Amino acid sequence: MISIIDSIQYRLDFKQWKNYQFCDEHGLGRISIISCGLSSVLTFNVVIICLFIFDWMDWMKSISILGLDSSREFMLLQGVSYVITLCIFHLAEFFVTAIYNPSVVTANSFVVNHSRSYTAAIILSCTEFCIRFTMFPFMNSRRGAILGLVMVIASQVIRSLSMITCGESFNHYIQHHKKENHTLVTTGIYKYLRHPSYFGFYYWSIGTQMLLGNMINMVTFAIASWFFFNRRIPFEESTLVRMFPKEYPIYMAKTPIGIPFIARRNKIE
């Protein structure tokens, strides 16, 4: 399993390419191929959604000719919706960065090569879904899937809005030194949440599994994401306290993180 993940990650990092346009994260070749790939997958799955709509409205029989029972037909819709949410997430990460903070945008801004853990999570979520689709289609909740979709949409809006509000101060990597254009953003959505981008990603990851009906991975994602942010947030806040020694402690004291059981750090050593 680890070797499979490493192989996938190797390709996501474009390490098999030697040409500059593909091997460097600033290369237009790498940006183009990722953008084209995500857009093509997104378009294909949107077409499938349209076929579902046509089928429901009796305009044309498309999905029903597959001979799936109602449970598997709904699960197919769940799977397609999941792929769409993934594509939108990764495309939004790049294009929001490109529009509002173009000085730092690279092919890595798509975050498709986020980490081995993220790659493994995607593989595990698809595996659980495929097992249920094949063997246990009755183990599925339509209400849960709808709730998951609502959570995914809301979380995506919150994350993208936080990136837009932060503008040039947003970066996918923790900044250890204050840049000239780096300001402490406390307006807009940051008035209500201290780390809205993390808040959005945390609930987005859980919502995707609710959308798929993956109860095992929903719990796994919630725990894994919590441990990730429980390490990352205090570390990032320690750097922000150094950058903004007067403003940030005051801001911390009056704004929540929004992720359960991650303690408010009013004082950081």
- The CA distance from 148 to 132, in Å, is 17
Residues 178/243, Cβ–Cβ less than 8 Å: yes
Residue 25 falls within a domain, yes or no?
yes
Judge whether 265 lies within some domain.
Answer: no
Mean pLDDT, residues 19-36 taken together: 85
Position 130, amino acid: C
The average pLDDT across 27-46 equals: 94
**Which residue has better confidence, 13 or 194?**
194
Looking at residue 214, its pLDDT comes to: 97
Report pLDDT digits (tens) over 199-219: 999 999 999 999 999 999 999
Residue 267 lies in a domain: no
Q: How far from chain centre, in Å, is Cα 10?
A: 20
Residue 260 lies in a domain: no
Q: Is 188 left (phi over 0), alpha (psi -120 to 50) or beta?
A: left
Q: What is the pLDDT of residue 2?
A: 74
96 assigned to some structural domain: yes
How many structural domains are present in the chain?
1
pLDDT band at 24 (very low <50, low <70, confident <90, very high): confident
**156 in any annotated domain:** yes
| pLDDT: which is higher, 32 or 21 | 32
How crowded is residue 75: how many other Cβ atoms within 10 Å of its Cβ? 23
- pTM score of the predicted model: 0.90
**Residue 113 sits in a domain of what CATH number?**
1.20.120.1630
pLDDT of residue 51: 93
- What is the predicted pLDDT for the residue at 267? 46
* pLDDT surpasses 90 at 269: no
pLDDT at residue number 142: 94
- Return the CA Rg of the chain: 20
3-state secondary structure at position 258: coil
126 lies in a domain? yes
Instruction: Tell which phi-psi region holds residue 175, choosing left (phi > 0), alpha (psi between -120 and 50) or beta.
Output: beta
pLDDT for 178: 66
Do the Cβ atoms of 128 and 216 come closer than 8 Å?
Answer: yes
d(CA 191, CA 194): 7
User: 265 pLDDT exceeds 70?
Assistant: no
pLDDT of res. 263: 65
Six-digit token pair at 86?
């993934």
Q: Are 203 and 159 in contact (CB under 8 A)?
A: no
Q: What's the pLDDT at 172? A: 78
The answer to whether residue 154 scores a pLDDT higher than 60 is yes
Q: What's the rounded mean pLDDT across residues 10-27?
A: 79
Average pLDDT value for residue range 222-246: 92
Domain extent, residue 29, equals 2-254
Q: What is the rounded average pLDDT of the residues 169-180?
A: 72
Burial environment of residue 74 by CB neighbours within 10 A (0 to 12, 13 to 18, 19 or more): middle
pLDDT at position 216 is: 96
What is the chain's mean pLDDT, rounded?
90
Is pLDDT above 80 for 16? no
DSSP code per residue over 161-190: HHHHHHGGG--SS--SS--TT-----SGGG
Does residue 142 belong to any structural domain of this protein? yes
User: Over the stretch 110-150, which tens digit does the pLDDT of each residue have?
Assistant: 999 888 899 999 999 999 999 999 999 999 999 999 999 99
